[in-house]
Structure 1
Amino acid sequence: MIYSVDVDVVAPVRDTEVTDRVVDAVRNLFPNADVSREAGRVVAEAHSLDHFSDLLHEQEILDTARREFQGSVSGDAFSFSLKKQAAFKGIVNFSVGNPDELGDLDVAVTVRDPSVEEFIDYVAPPTKDGKPVDPSDGDGRR
Protein backbone atom coordinates (compact mmCIF):
# COMPACT_ATOMS: atom_id res chain seq x y z
CA MET A 1 0.00 0.00 0.00
CA ILE A 2 1.26 3.46 -0.86
CA TYR A 3 0.19 6.14 1.55
CA SER A 4 0.93 9.73 2.50
CA VAL A 5 0.84 10.58 6.19
CA ASP A 6 2.39 13.01 8.64
CA VAL A 7 3.07 11.70 12.13
CA ASP A 8 3.83 14.32 14.79
CA VAL A 9 5.06 13.24 18.21
CA VAL A 10 5.45 15.56 21.19
CA ALA A 11 6.85 14.48 24.56
CA PRO A 12 7.53 16.68 27.56
CA VAL A 13 10.92 16.44 29.22
CA ARG A 14 10.63 16.95 32.98
CA ASP A 15 13.46 18.40 35.07
CA THR A 16 14.10 14.94 36.54
CA GLU A 17 14.50 13.31 33.12
CA VAL A 18 17.44 12.91 30.79
CA THR A 19 16.48 14.34 27.37
CA ASP A 20 18.36 11.59 25.51
CA ARG A 21 16.19 8.95 27.22
CA VAL A 22 13.05 10.70 26.01
CA VAL A 23 14.54 10.83 22.51
CA ASP A 24 15.26 7.10 22.78
CA ALA A 25 11.65 6.46 23.83
CA VAL A 26 10.40 8.22 20.71
CA ARG A 27 12.90 6.50 18.41
CA ASN A 28 12.12 3.06 19.85
CA LEU A 29 8.55 3.34 18.53
CA PHE A 30 9.18 5.65 15.56
CA PRO A 31 12.73 4.84 14.39
CA ASN A 32 12.50 6.85 11.17
CA ALA A 33 11.32 10.03 12.88
CA ASP A 34 13.22 13.29 12.57
CA VAL A 35 13.65 14.17 16.26
CA SER A 36 14.53 17.57 17.66
CA ARG A 37 15.00 18.91 21.17
CA GLU A 38 13.14 22.02 22.23
CA ALA A 39 12.89 23.76 25.59
CA GLY A 40 11.15 21.31 27.89
CA ARG A 41 10.11 18.84 25.20
CA VAL A 42 11.09 16.53 22.38
CA VAL A 43 9.35 16.91 19.03
CA ALA A 44 9.46 14.38 16.20
CA GLU A 45 8.06 14.09 12.71
CA ALA A 46 7.72 10.89 10.69
CA HIS A 47 5.94 9.77 7.55
CA SER A 48 5.42 6.10 8.35
CA LEU A 49 3.85 3.94 11.04
CA ASP A 50 5.26 0.68 9.65
CA HIS A 51 7.50 -0.13 12.64
CA PHE A 52 4.75 0.93 15.04
CA SER A 53 2.33 -1.35 13.18
CA ASP A 54 4.83 -4.22 13.46
CA LEU A 55 4.94 -3.68 17.23
CA LEU A 56 1.13 -3.73 17.42
CA HIS A 57 1.14 -7.06 15.58
CA GLU A 58 3.95 -8.52 17.74
CA GLN A 59 2.27 -7.44 20.98
CA GLU A 60 -1.11 -8.66 19.66
CA ILE A 61 -2.88 -5.42 20.60
CA LEU A 62 -4.51 -4.64 17.27
CA ASP A 63 -8.03 -4.38 18.72
CA THR A 64 -6.86 -1.97 21.42
CA ALA A 65 -5.04 0.13 18.83
CA ARG A 66 -8.09 0.22 16.54
CA ARG A 67 -10.28 1.42 19.43
CA GLU A 68 -7.80 4.16 20.29
CA PHE A 69 -7.39 5.28 16.68
CA GLN A 70 -11.07 5.13 15.73
CA GLY A 71 -12.15 6.89 18.92
CA SER A 72 -10.12 9.96 18.03
CA VAL A 73 -10.76 10.35 14.28
CA SER A 74 -11.41 13.95 13.31
CA GLY A 75 -11.62 14.66 9.59
CA ASP A 76 -8.42 13.38 7.98
CA ALA A 77 -6.58 12.83 11.28
CA PHE A 78 -6.46 10.76 14.45
CA SER A 79 -4.41 10.97 17.63
CA PHE A 80 -3.40 8.91 20.64
CA SER A 81 -1.10 9.02 23.65
CA LEU A 82 1.50 6.48 24.73
CA LYS A 83 3.25 5.80 28.02
CA LYS A 84 6.77 7.19 27.85
CA GLN A 85 8.38 4.60 30.14
CA ALA A 86 7.00 1.69 28.12
CA ALA A 87 8.13 3.39 24.90
CA PHE A 88 11.66 3.62 26.31
CA LYS A 89 11.58 -0.19 26.50
CA GLY A 90 10.21 -0.45 22.94
CA ILE A 91 6.73 -1.41 24.13
CA VAL A 92 3.48 0.16 22.94
CA ASN A 93 1.28 1.04 25.92
CA PHE A 94 -1.63 3.37 25.23
CA SER A 95 -2.21 6.04 27.82
CA VAL A 96 -5.83 6.23 28.87
CA GLY A 97 -7.32 8.27 31.68
CA ASN A 98 -4.94 10.48 33.63
CA PRO A 99 -1.62 11.35 32.00
CA ASP A 100 1.52 9.88 33.49
CA GLU A 101 3.37 12.14 35.93
CA LEU A 102 6.29 12.32 33.49
CA GLY A 103 3.92 13.08 30.63
CA ASP A 104 2.99 10.96 27.66
CA LEU A 105 4.09 10.73 24.05
CA ASP A 106 1.29 12.55 22.24
CA VAL A 107 0.94 11.37 18.65
CA ALA A 108 -1.09 13.10 15.92
CA VAL A 109 -1.46 11.42 12.53
CA THR A 110 -2.70 13.32 9.47
CA VAL A 111 -3.63 11.11 6.52
CA ARG A 112 -3.63 12.56 3.00
CA ASP A 113 -3.92 9.30 1.08
CA PRO A 114 -5.75 6.90 1.37
CA SER A 115 -8.70 7.62 3.71
CA VAL A 116 -8.21 7.65 7.47
CA GLU A 117 -10.27 4.45 7.78
CA GLU A 118 -8.16 2.64 5.16
CA PHE A 119 -4.94 3.75 6.85
CA ILE A 120 -6.16 2.56 10.25
CA ASP A 121 -7.03 -0.79 8.64
CA TYR A 122 -3.46 -0.92 7.30
CA VAL A 123 -1.75 -0.07 10.60
CA ALA A 124 -4.09 -2.09 12.84
CA PRO A 125 -6.23 -4.42 10.71
CA PRO A 126 -9.51 -5.85 11.97
CA THR A 127 -9.16 -9.19 13.72
CA LYS A 128 -11.11 -12.38 14.10
CA ASP A 129 -10.29 -14.61 17.07
CA GLY A 130 -7.34 -12.32 17.74
CA LYS A 131 -5.77 -12.79 14.31
CA PRO A 132 -5.59 -10.08 11.61
CA VAL A 133 -8.21 -10.44 8.88
CA ASP A 134 -7.60 -9.17 5.35
CA PRO A 135 -9.29 -10.89 2.46
CA SER A 136 -6.76 -9.54 -0.03
CA ASP A 137 -3.83 -11.62 1.25
CA GLY A 138 -4.80 -13.37 4.46
CA ASP A 139 -2.02 -12.05 6.69
CA GLY A 140 -3.68 -8.82 7.83
CA ARG A 141 -1.20 -6.51 6.11
CA ARG A 142 -1.90 -4.81 2.82
Structure 2
Amino acid sequence: MIIQHTVTRRSDAYTYFFCRNRQQGTCSASYINVAVAERAVERYYTTVSRPQLAKALSTADSVDATDIDTALTPVQIYESCTNDERRFLNHVLFRRLYLADNRITDHEPPDRDAPTRASHTGPISHDTLRD
Protein backbone atom coordinates (compact mmCIF):
# COMPACT_ATOMS: atom_id res chain seq x y z
CA MET A 1 0.00 0.00 0.00
CA ILE A 2 1.06 3.52 -0.76
CA ILE A 3 -0.05 6.53 1.22
CA GLN A 4 -1.09 9.70 -0.57
CA HIS A 5 -1.99 13.12 0.72
CA THR A 6 -4.21 15.12 -1.61
CA VAL A 7 -5.44 18.71 -1.34
CA THR A 8 -8.40 19.68 -3.51
CA ARG A 9 -8.94 23.02 -5.25
CA ARG A 10 -11.14 24.01 -2.29
CA SER A 11 -8.24 23.23 0.10
CA ASP A 12 -9.90 20.08 1.48
CA ALA A 13 -7.15 17.66 2.53
CA TYR A 14 -7.48 13.89 2.21
CA THR A 15 -4.98 11.23 3.17
CA TYR A 16 -5.54 7.69 1.98
CA PHE A 17 -3.90 4.39 1.14
CA PHE A 18 -4.09 2.66 -2.20
CA CYS A 19 -2.63 -0.51 -3.68
CA ARG A 20 0.67 -0.04 -5.43
CA ASN A 21 -0.55 -2.33 -8.24
CA ARG A 22 -3.37 0.12 -8.99
CA GLN A 23 -0.80 2.29 -10.78
CA GLN A 24 -0.19 -0.53 -13.27
CA GLY A 25 -3.91 -1.25 -13.56
CA THR A 26 -3.57 -4.73 -12.02
CA CYS A 27 -5.51 -4.05 -8.81
CA SER A 28 -9.05 -2.81 -8.44
CA ALA A 29 -8.95 -2.35 -4.66
CA SER A 30 -10.57 0.89 -3.59
CA TYR A 31 -8.79 3.79 -1.94
CA ILE A 32 -8.90 3.62 1.86
CA ASN A 33 -9.08 6.73 4.01
CA VAL A 34 -6.27 6.73 6.61
CA ALA A 35 -8.74 7.39 9.45
CA VAL A 36 -10.78 4.34 8.39
CA ALA A 37 -7.62 2.20 8.26
CA GLU A 38 -6.52 3.47 11.68
CA ARG A 39 -9.89 2.57 13.22
CA ALA A 40 -9.56 -0.90 11.68
CA VAL A 41 -6.11 -1.31 13.26
CA GLU A 42 -7.46 -0.13 16.63
CA ARG A 43 -10.26 -2.71 16.41
CA TYR A 44 -7.73 -5.38 15.44
CA TYR A 45 -5.75 -4.72 18.62
CA THR A 46 -8.69 -6.25 20.51
CA THR A 47 -7.48 -9.62 19.11
CA VAL A 48 -3.93 -9.11 20.43
CA SER A 49 -3.29 -10.86 23.72
CA ARG A 50 -1.13 -9.53 26.55
CA PRO A 51 1.38 -12.41 26.07
CA GLN A 52 1.64 -11.57 22.34
CA LEU A 53 2.30 -7.94 23.16
CA ALA A 54 4.86 -8.77 25.85
CA LYS A 55 6.67 -11.21 23.54
CA ALA A 56 6.79 -8.66 20.71
CA LEU A 57 8.04 -5.93 23.01
CA SER A 58 10.69 -8.22 24.50
CA THR A 59 12.37 -8.24 21.07
CA ALA A 60 12.65 -4.45 21.10
CA ASP A 61 15.75 -3.00 22.74
CA SER A 62 14.05 0.21 23.84
CA VAL A 63 11.13 -1.29 25.78
CA ASP A 64 11.08 -3.32 28.96
CA ALA A 65 7.95 -5.51 28.77
CA THR A 66 7.78 -5.54 32.57
CA ASP A 67 6.92 -1.83 32.40
CA ILE A 68 3.54 -2.56 30.85
CA ASP A 69 0.63 -1.63 33.07
CA THR A 70 -1.11 -4.94 33.69
CA ALA A 71 -4.45 -3.14 34.08
CA LEU A 72 -4.42 -2.02 30.43
CA THR A 73 -5.43 -4.17 27.48
CA PRO A 74 -3.32 -4.08 24.29
CA VAL A 75 -5.96 -1.91 22.59
CA GLN A 76 -5.93 0.55 25.51
CA ILE A 77 -2.15 0.75 25.30
CA TYR A 78 -2.34 1.32 21.54
CA GLU A 79 -5.01 4.00 21.88
CA SER A 80 -2.95 5.91 24.44
CA CYS A 81 0.24 5.93 22.34
CA THR A 82 1.59 8.72 20.17
CA ASN A 83 1.72 8.17 16.40
CA ASP A 84 5.41 7.21 16.60
CA GLU A 85 4.70 4.74 19.40
CA ARG A 86 1.80 3.26 17.42
CA ARG A 87 4.06 2.82 14.39
CA PHE A 88 6.62 1.12 16.61
CA LEU A 89 4.04 -1.26 18.12
CA ASN A 90 2.69 -2.12 14.67
CA HIS A 91 6.20 -2.92 13.44
CA VAL A 92 7.05 -5.21 16.34
CA LEU A 93 3.68 -7.00 16.23
CA PHE A 94 2.96 -7.27 12.52
CA ARG A 95 4.88 -7.76 9.30
CA ARG A 96 1.73 -7.21 7.26
CA LEU A 97 -1.88 -6.34 7.98
CA TYR A 98 -4.57 -7.24 5.46
CA LEU A 99 -7.39 -4.73 5.10
CA ALA A 100 -10.65 -5.53 3.32
CA ASP A 101 -14.10 -4.04 3.70
CA ASN A 102 -12.74 -1.47 6.17
CA ARG A 103 -11.48 -4.09 8.62
CA ILE A 104 -8.28 -6.03 9.21
CA THR A 105 -8.91 -9.56 7.99
CA ASP A 106 -5.54 -11.12 8.81
CA HIS A 107 -1.92 -10.38 9.62
CA GLU A 108 1.56 -11.85 9.26
CA PRO A 109 3.82 -11.76 12.30
CA PRO A 110 7.20 -10.12 11.84
CA ASP A 111 10.21 -12.21 10.84
CA ARG A 112 12.13 -12.30 14.13
CA ASP A 113 15.40 -13.12 12.31
CA ALA A 114 15.19 -10.09 10.03
CA PRO A 115 16.42 -6.69 11.18
CA THR A 116 13.60 -4.66 12.65
CA ARG A 117 11.99 -2.00 10.49
CA ALA A 118 10.69 -0.16 13.51
CA SER A 119 11.94 3.38 13.63
CA HIS A 120 10.98 4.32 17.18
CA THR A 121 14.06 5.95 18.64
CA GLY A 122 13.25 5.81 22.32
CA PRO A 123 11.23 3.91 24.85
CA ILE A 124 7.48 4.02 24.71
CA SER A 125 6.46 6.53 27.33
CA HIS A 126 6.29 5.06 30.79
CA ASP A 127 3.06 7.04 31.37
CA THR A 128 1.53 4.89 28.65
CA LEU A 129 2.89 1.56 29.83
CA ARG A 130 3.56 1.82 33.52
CA ASP A 131 1.10 1.89 36.43
TM-score (norm 1): 0.27
Higher strand share goes to which structure? 1
Higher helix share goes to which structure? 2
Q: Which has the higher contact order (CA 8 A, sep 6+)?
A: 1
